Amino acid sequence: MSINEFDKLPLSKSLGFSIRKNFGQILKESRLGHDYLELYNEMMKSSQESTGIEDDETDIVSDLTRLKRIADRRRYARRQSSVGRRRARSQALRREKLNSQSLRSHREHSRHTSLENKFMI
């Protein structure tokens, strides 16, 4: 792309920069807006600090209850679908298999150690 073609294309409209129109003036205005943004952020920070810790705790509790409700709704919807029922069934089988496997392993280990203890005495 040549320089002449680049001059014809304006930069992003959202930033408000354009090569064809008063680039320097628009740049100054954007910096001025940045200063106001910093001031606004400071004011928001101080107002949040002045509200107190109690509000933060209630916000956390309400967020947790909201998330719990969302998770419960998703879990309910998952159980209602055929895929969800199949998944629940396979998870239950997997749990049962692991539990029985660990029980067998525990029994074998305890039997093995009891035999070793008998021979050591």
Q: Is residue 2 part of a domain?
A: yes
End-to-end Cα separation, the chain, in angstroms: 91
Q: Is residue 33 part of a domain?
A: yes
Q: Is residue 76 part of a domain?
A: no
Q: How far apart are CA 118 and CA 121, in angstroms?
A: 5
Mean of pLDDT values over 105-116:
88
- Give the chain's domain count: 1
CA dihedral 81, 85, 86, 90 (to 10 degrees): 150
Q: Is residue 32 part of a domain?
A: yes
Residues 26/18, Cβ–Cβ less than 8 Å: yes
Copy the structure tokens of residue 78: 């998952």
Domain of residue 9 covers 1-51
Q: Is residue 65 part of a domain?
A: no
Q: Give per-residue pLDDT as tens, 28-82.
A: 666 666 667 777 788 778 777 766 555 556 677 788 888 887 777 766 666 677 8
